[in-house]
Amino acid sequence: MSGDNVSAGMVIGVTVAGGVSAAVFVCATSCWAIKACLEGKFSRGWRRLRVRGLGGVTTLEQALA
C-alpha cells in the first residue's frame, strides 16, 4: 500500500504544530481573562447572572417585615 506512507517526520511536524497552536490559544485566552478580571468584568457578569436567576428583580418595592 503506497498511499499509507507516513513518516516519523510528518507525525512529529503535525504534533509540534498542534502543540504550538494550542499554546498560542491558551496564552491568548489567559491574557484576555487576566485583562477582564483586572477591569472587573467577571464580577459584573456574575452579578447579572444572579439577577437574571431571580427573574430580573433588582430592587424591592417595599421593606421586608
> Has residue 27 got a pLDDT over 80?
yes
Q: Is residue 15 in some structural domain?
A: yes
What pLDDT does 55 receive?
Answer: 59
Q: Is residue 45 part of a domain?
A: yes
Is residue 41 a part of any domain in this protein? yes
In a domain, 49, yes or no: yes
The pLDDT score that the predictor gives to residue 37 is 79
Q: Is residue 59 part of a domain?
A: no
Domain extent for 34? 7-53
User: Is 63 inside any structural domain?
Assistant: no
With respect to residue 42, please indicate whether it lies within any of the assigned structural domains. Answer: yes
Residue 22 lies in a domain: yes
Residue 57 has pLDDT above 80, yes or no: no
**Pairwise CA distance, residues 2 & 5, whole Å:** 6
pLDDT of residue 33: 87
**The overall pTM is greater than 0.85:** no
Question: How many domains, the chain?
Answer: 1
Residue 60, class by beta-carbon neighbours within 10 Å (0-12 exposed, 13-18 middle, 19+ buried)? exposed
Q: What is the mean pLDDT of residues 14-38?
A: 92
Residue, of 65 and 21, whose pLDDT is higher: 21
